[in-house]
Amino acid sequence: MDVIALIGVLALVYMSFTISASAGLGGSLVMVPALVLFLGSKEGVALAALFLASNNVMKIIAYRRTLPFRAAARVVVLIVLGAALGSTLLVRAPTTAVTVGVITMFAFSVIAERFEITPLRNGFAPVLAFGSGASSGFSGTSGPLKGVAIRNLDLDRRHFVGAASLASFAGDATKTAIFAEAELLGRSSVLLALAAVPLMALGTWTGSALNERAGEQTFAILFWTVMTGYTVRLGILLA
């Protein structure tokens, strides 16, 4: 990776972590396609998992007073199981079928959310959580499914970001371990992640400050903007 590419990646790291710390999700929306462009699909997804796992440690520290361990426990477990499956199958499985499934499930979830079909949404939440982990393992993207699954917990914005940070760390750490075992992550990946630590910290602080100032209505707009961005990117992948 040349100097210009390195600067570009580090700038995107800051942007990704600012988005992630403010909305709870969305970091992979910018990071994954950029890293895939620079490094290739498998290596890009693997390095993104390492970056995002590191960033979620900082988010957990930033939101340490609003971490809903009990409320988020089932979602976290299902995401870990899905992430283990998805990342294990990364090398062999085509991403197109997974992308179609993600878009279909997200559309279904938006309908349930929009028309307040609470029993339907509640019953579908475990599938969304598991599916988010699996799709993240395949393509590095889990936001739409994970976001709606966590939103189903009916938390305020600070506890929502806390729950998202716990779930994201668990899933990304699982993927990182599997990718490292498959030798998709090496010494250079770790060194690059260490070099990005100050930007991770700055982005997390910036995003947390934005979240603190936002009202619930503003946060809801930000949340659905991020979710829409995920869906558009998934649609582009299918094109």
Domain map (residue ranges) of the chain: 3-238
Distances in Å between the Cα of 10 and the Cα atoms of 13, 108, 162, 238 are 5, 35, 25, 27
DSSP annotation string for 12-33: HHHHHHHHHHHHSS-HHHHHHH
> Taking a C-beta distance cutoff of 8 angstroms, is the pair 104, 155 a contact?
no
> Closest Cα partner for 165 from 50, 44, 69?
69
What pLDDT shows up at residue 108? 64
The neighbour count for residue 93, using CB atoms within 10 Å, is 15
What pLDDT shows up at residue 9? 76
What pLDDT shows up at residue 36? 74
Distance CA 161, CA 22 (A): 8
User: Is 0.85 surpassed by the pTM of this model?
Assistant: no
Q: Which two tokens stand for residue 16?
A: 């990704």
What pLDDT shows up at residue 104? 67
Question: Burial of 130 by CB count in 10 Å (0-12 exposed, 13-18 middle, 19+ buried)?
Answer: buried
Contacts of residue 192, Cβ cutoff 8 Å, sequence gap at least 6 = 6, 9, 47
What pLDDT shows up at residue 90? 80
N-term to C-term CA, the chain: 28
Radius of gyration of the chain (CA): 16
What pLDDT shows up at residue 162? 92
What pLDDT shows up at residue 136? 84
What pLDDT shows up at residue 131? 87
Distances in Å between the Cα of 226 and the Cα atoms of 39, 119, 125, 144, 173 are 24, 25, 19, 8, 22
What pLDDT shows up at residue 166? 94
One-letter amino acid for residue 169 of the chain: F
pLDDT along the chain (239 residues), means of 10: 74 79 70 73 84 86 91 94 91 64 61 56 78 84 76 87 92 93 84 82 83 71 68 63
> Closest Cα partner for 208 from 148, 165, 154?
165
What pLDDT shows up at residue 191? 83
What pLDDT shows up at residue 122? 61
> Closest Cα partner for 75 from 219, 157, 171?
171
Distance CA 69, CA 71 (A): 6
